[in-house]
Structure 1
């Protein structure tokens, strides 16, 4: 089995990083929901039988802040991966041996990936 081309590697990297960002977004929404529920329960006196409801709220808030902290570096990595993919696409366009399917997939991915100025 031949080694994957640099174009395929760059395409897969962007795909993986954007998927990772989506998963962190889902996790953040889930964490916000848990914090809101815990805070509402604490305010209403529900679920504080063991006396650690405030601790649980702080722990969930800390986890939420840690998740938020991931987005800055992740956006930077996505930007770098997109730049590498753009370079690989430009290189592959000039190469007659480049796979048309890989090139098409890379172009589609570039079109669908929002480009941030990181």
Structure 2
């Protein structure tokens, strides 16, 4: 099996990073829901809230902050991968590369450019 072309490698890189970013967004949403649920439980318990619930809430908030911190460097990596992919597409088009690879690369490029700003959950 021949080695993948630079265009294929760049395409797969963007696809992987976009998938990773989507996974972190999902994780952040789940963590946010858990934090809200814990806050509600503690509020409802009032004076009778145990110390463990407060500790668990603090840990969940810490995990949520850590997940949120991932988005800035991940966004930078996606931007770099998109730039490399644009260069590879230009090279492939000038060299009349395989049309199917170029099409897949353009689709991945759109996905990479569509990545939103870091969430503010």
TM-score, L = length of structure 1: 0.89
Q: Which has the higher helix share?
A: 2
Do the aligned partners of 1:79 and 1:115 also contact (CA within 8 Å) in 2? no
Higher RCO (C-alpha 8 Å, min separation 6):
2
State whether structure 2 residue 89 is matched by structure 1 residue 101. no
Q: Which runs of 4+ in 1 moved over 6 A?
A: none
Aligned length: 115
The 1-side partners of 2:60 and 2:114 are apart by: 31
Residue 12 of structure 1 is matched in structure 2 by 12
The 2-side partners of 1:92 and 1:38 are apart by: 53
Segments of structure 1 that go 5 or more residues without pairing to the other structure are none
* CA-based RMSD: 2.0
Q: Partner of 1:113: helix, strand, or coil?
A: helix
Residue 95 of structure 1 deviates from its aligned partner by 1.1
Segments of structure 2 that go 5 or more residues without pairing to the other structure are none
TM-score, L = length of structure 2: 0.87
Q: Partner of 1:3: helix, strand, or coil?
A: coil
